Structure 1
Amino acid sequence: MTDTQERILTAFKQLLIENGYTKTTTRKIANLAEVNELTIFNNFKDKEGLLNAAVNDYLNDVNELTNNIQLSGNVETDLTMLSQQCQSFFNDHKAIILAGFRDAFDIPSLNAAIQKIPLYFKQFLMDYFKKMQTNGVIDHNLNVEAQSMNFIWLNFGYFLTGQRFNTPGLSFDLTYFLQNNIKSFINGLFE
């Protein structure tokens, strides 16, 4: 990707966060990226082309994230690290994630892309929990599908709360979240 294409895509993502897809215009993108509007059309065809480029970045990073995960076999260490990586991923891709919540019902391709990460993580976590059950590390009666979804909901909930609310009592820093909420979740795996 060229520097100009990167600038355009970065401007698009910033405007997605601020305005949502519908209110993000190619004129606004051009102004923020400091390019001519025609440059956007020459590089991405239209606003949907920009969306497709942003979604492709998101999907490539989903695959890269899970391919690079190094698990230790220590449940607390592994789930704390997975939670940190989830939060980092969500923050790096908040433009697409937030646009997905705002506009996914109107844009089927965006809806399909946004669904891929929780589905991928669900399968990844189910495989991990089954392995930990087989190794006798966690409760063998644990419903791995339910616990996988609980872990995803916990992490998505933390991210969305941080994006929506900046009020003491409703949001707190990542360290607190990891030390308290993730640790409480992990304790439930051993009962």
Structure 2
Amino acid sequence: MQVSLAFIATSIFADLQNLYLMPSPRNLNRQKIIQAAIELFANQGVSETTTKQIAELAQVNEVTLFRQFGNKHGLLLAVIEDAEVFAQLGQSLSTELPPASNLAEMLRTYANTCLQALEQTPAVIRSLVGESGQYSTENRQGLGRSFDRANRRVAKYLKTNIGESQSDLQLPIEQLTSLLHTLLFGYATIELTSEFHGLWRDRTDFLDRVVKLFVAGAMAVNSQHSTVTNPTDTPAIQLDLPASIVHQILQQAKKHSLQTYALAYVLFGTGLSVSEIIALTRSNHVSSNDLQLLQITRGAIRQVPVNQWILGKRYGSYLKNPLTQWLRSRKDSNLALFINSDDTALTAGDLHQLWQQSTHEIIAPTGAPPTIAQAQVTWCVEMIMRGLSIEAMQVLTGWETSQLEPYVHRAKELTVLAQAFNVDRH
């Protein structure tokens, strides 16, 4: 994952005294060496700094440095990992930035704060860019882990402050954050290493372009589906999936994780939309010996049964099925029905990512990978084929008759095809 190398500059080399607690006597030499290395790395670069210089500034024997860290690259790795400066940076940014009312405002405020930090340490950034290729594999892996920690911290902040807007994103917040950091680092590299360019007028012009690009690209598809003519999040008309592909998706989801399996089961067993699924809480799930249902609290308020049978195959009982098994495995306290690895509620982007993992290398009859919308269509057509009237489907889906008519037609089409196959067998 690429995150701005300026994170190193702004977190390792600025206000370092605030990043360390008072060391214990046992770790005093270690902390003195790390802080001396930080100071010298900032002033003269990693390559030009020797272990002897570090030891002298730390007022320890050079042998002590070698015992603690092995060599200069081991010390650099300790600076990166032991100080936890990347996580500290993400935390400090999230405490300094105010909440935003929308994604565009959030991106602009955060990006501007990052660029201001980048511009405070231009010499360090130039040094790190020029020297990064000389780092050992272990150092680069350490940088990668630290980048990832910082990115996740900032992504968590964005999730908290964007709130409901997450459901409109076409990319997971983590990916959106890493792409943003990559652009910001590119900006800083060009601004701080070149005397003239015509790529943008100034920082404001650059930020205008970045925010416009991200908002348009990240939210364009879902915004088309959120118009007044489609208030219930009904998918565009698509072909349903054949039973063989549905069961293949469920089996692939089962191999991935308990939660992924439960999500696929809910998609094909309830016909819920993405926004309805991510809004579910544990209290919305009801299960007993003779029923299992979900209480929908977003959009059309209703109760929807979770089917045991999906296209001719039974997936457990009302009390023991992929969804109940996932819930029983939970050790967290989050109220959301589905969660991320960091115990936060699942977003629309996260759900799409899990769907892609469940449908990896699977191709629908249309010649394209199956979509989440097709799961909803497949459930709807199956319910009608199993005898539910259009009035009953209105109750289960919250849709109007005109929205259900294409699926009624598709169910009739499949029924006619089945009858034609039976005639041919005789």
The answer, yes or no, to whether TM exceeds 0.5 is yes
Q: Retained in 1: the 8 A contact 2:41–2:49?
A: yes
Listed as ranges, the matches of 1:93-108 within 5 Å are 94=125, 97-98=128-129, 101-104=132-135, 107-108=136-137
What's 1:83 paired with? 111
- Relative distance call for 1:116 and 1:95 in structure 2 (3 A) is farther
Q: Following superposition of structure 1 onto structure 2, how do residues 6-45 of structure 1 map, counting pairs within 5 Å?
A: 6-16=35-45, 20=47, 24-27=49-52, 29=54, 33=57, 39-43=61-65
Q: Secondary structure at the match of 1:154?
A: helix
* Higher RCO (CA 8 Å, separation ≥ 6 residues): 1
Task: Give the aligned partner of residue 52 of structure 1.
Answer: 77
Q: 1:73: which partner in 2?
A: 100
Q: Which has the higher strand share?
A: 2
Deviation string, structure 1 residues 76-104 (Cα, Å, up to 9, x no partner): 44323322443426966748953762223
In the alignment, residue 62 of structure 1 is paired with which amino acid?
A: F
Q: Residues 130 and 29 from structure 1, CA distance in 2 versus in 1: closer, same or farther, beyond 3 angstroms?
A: closer
Q: How far does residue 155 in structure 1 lie from its aligned partner after superposition?
A: 0.9
After the TM superposition, list the runs of 4 or more consecutive aligned residues in structure 1 that deviate by more than 6 angstroms: 170-173
Return the offset for 1:108. Answer: 2.1
Q: Which has the higher helix share?
A: 1
Match of 1:128 among 149, 155, 158: 158
Q: Flag the structure with larger Rg.
A: 2
Structure 1 letter corresponding to 2:80: V
Give the gaps of 5 or more residues in structure 2: 1-22, 221-426
Asked if the contact 2:104–2:211 (Cα under 8 Å) also holds between the matched residues in 1, the reply is yes
Report the residue type matching 2:158 in the other structure: Y
Aligned partner (choices 167, 187, 203) of residue 158 of structure 1:
187
Other-structure match for 1:187: 212
Distance in 1 (alpha carbons) for counterparts of 2:119 and 2:145: 13
Give distance in 1, aligned partners of 2:37 and 2:169. 51
Q: Say how many residue pairs are matched.
A: 175
Looking at structure 2, the residues matched to 95 and 4 of structure 1 have their Cα atoms a distance apart, in angstroms, of 26
How much identity, in percent, do the aligned residues show? 11
Q: Note closer, same or farther for the CA distance 1:90–1:168 as it changes in structure 2 (3 Å cut).
A: closer
What do the CA deviations read for 1:25-52 (whole angstroms, capped 9, x no partner)?
Answer: 3345568x4x77x634334554234313
The unaligned stretches of length 5 or more in structure 1 are none
Q: Distance in 2 between matches of 1:54 and 1:181?
A: 32
Distance 1:52 1:139, change over 3 A: closer
* 2:399 alignment counterpart: none
